[in-house]
Structures are given as structure tokens and as C-alpha cells.
Amino acid sequence: MKRQNRSTLTNPKFGNKHAWLLIALLASTWSSSAFANRLADIKSRGSLICGTQNASSPYGYQDPKQRKYVGYDVDICQALASELGVKLQHKPLSTEARIPEVKMGRVDIVAGSVAWLPKRAEEVDFSLQYLQGNIKVLTKKDAGIKTLADLAGKKVCASSGSSSAAIAQKVIPGADILTYQNISQCYLGLQNDKVQAMTAGELVLLRFANDSQKTDTPAVLLDESTATEHIGIIMNKGEPELKAAVDKALTAMEKSGELDTIFNKWLGNDSIYKLTRSFKVVPVAQLDTGTKK
């Protein structure tokens, strides 16, 4: 059989063009069969490869004491694996790698605090909402800025490529939106008066606000949010069985109270943030949000 294939491919009458067409056809057939049903692959493998962010406390980060990755999203990955009846293979990812890793099939799903956006929904599928958060603005307490309208004519910093930057362009009229490589650089800019405000997720800004209380120029969060983000588990398109299984698992976690337990541990009463969970496990794309603008 192998002799016949080599003979065909090397036969001058067959031609290079036909040989490459045959190779492409075989590769396409193998790829389609290998990922025909990712849920079946997960069950057969006995493990769920679930990605989270690798440096985003409290969602997914390395605990220096335990020397392992922990966080809200890590616990969500573990709970989903348990609901599917398989073991967890956790894979920490950079923020930028979340969607590419899903599209290349290197992870089954990502619980990486990925907010639903129209452009993202064109690339990957989203599960039901399992997390919700507000995008806010941090400014110095003595800056005299009390509302989003007060930011007109002011320099506002956001992390490059973030949804916070895109939303700020639309909902803070008259402000000069600047993007730095990461949010820590924005905070340095705020401290050095290079910018008058910075915008990001509420929990991220709360950590900077707490740190600033030790300085001579404490910072505060504005009461108004620029948007509310609706966050789902992401997976490759064309996997309806996997999406249905993840949605079913999230619904079961809400009904059993497990989602409340994980929320309270990392974001609620058992955490430093003391937030109250007010969101439901519902379709992210059906929610009316500023991120859709």
C-alpha cells in the first residue's frame, strides 16, 4: 500500500500539482475527523483542557506561596470538568493568547474573563454568562473630577487592545483617550500626571486605588461605569455539542449554588472586594450592554 502511494506521487505523469492536491485533501480529511466533535474527544481523552489568564488576580494568577495557579476562573474550570465527568488540564495563558489558542485547538475552552463583543463573537462561540463586571474610571482624589462628563478635554489612559479603550472612545465624549502597553503603565502615568484618569475593569482599578492610599495623592473610582461587561466561556465555532454541555453545566452550577460559592470566595463576602453577585446565567448576546455599541 505504501509502495503504491509513493509510486503515484512520484510518477511524472501524475504531476506535482495533482500530488499536492492529494496531500491537501488527505490533510483536510484528517483535520476534520480529528476535531469532528470536541466533546466526544474530551470524553474519550478523559480530561478537559481549560485555559485561564496567567496574571490577572483574582481571575487567574500564580499564588507565590502555593506555587500553583489559582483564581475565580481556575475554580470555574475545575467545576466544569467535574460537571462533564472528566479531569481538568489547566492551561494558563496570556491575555492576548486567549482567542488564538481556542481557534488553533490547543485548548478545549477558555474561562478567561472574556467579555462578549460583536467582533469576538465572529471568531469564537460564547457560553451562557458566568461572570459580569463593570468598567470604571480611576482618577486622583484632588483632581476635581466627579463624573464622566468632567473628563472632557482630559487625558484618559487604557490598556492597548482592551475593550475598556474601545468603549471609552464611545462613551466619554471630548476626552483624549491614550493607550499604553498595559494597565500598570497607565497607573504610572496617572501618578506622574501624564494622564488625568485611567479606565479598566473595576476590580483591577480597586487594587490601584487601595495602593494609592499609601501615597500623598490617593486615587478614587468614579461612581459611573462606562459599561457593564457580560462574560462567557469561549470555545471554537462549530462545536454545538460542547457549547450545549458547557451551558448545561453552568446552569447546574447556578442551581446548586456552586457558582455563588466560587463568586463569594474570590469576589464576594469571603474576599477583599465584598461584591454582591447580581447577575444570572443567561445568554450573553441577548443582554443590552454598552459593549454592543
Block mean pLDDT (10 aa), the chain, length 293? 39 49 47 67 98 89 93 98 98 90 97 89 96 95 95 94 84 93 89 96 88 92 94 96 98 98 96 90 71 43
Distance between start and end Cα atoms, the chain: 58
Which three three-digit cell numbers place residue 270? 469571603
Q: Is 278 helix (H, G, I), strand (E, B) or coil?
A: coil
pLDDT digits (tens, 9 = 90+) for 38-47: 999 999 999 9
Residue 27 has what pLDDT?
45
pLDDT at 57: 83
pLDDT at 166: 83
Query: Domains, the chain, ranges and CATH?
Result: 38-132+230-273 (3.40.190.10), 135-227 (3.40.190.10)
Tell me the C-alpha to C-alpha distance, in Å, between residue 36 and each of 30, 123, 240.
10, 18, 11
pLDDT of residue 272: 87
Give the per-residue pLDDT at 5. Answer: 41
Nearest to 148 by CA among 208, 192, 196, 183: 196
Element containing residue 221 per DSSP (H, E)? strand 219-221
CA separation for the pair 244, 231 (Å, rounded)? 17
Q: Which residue, 159, 111, 152, is CA-closest to 135?
A: 159
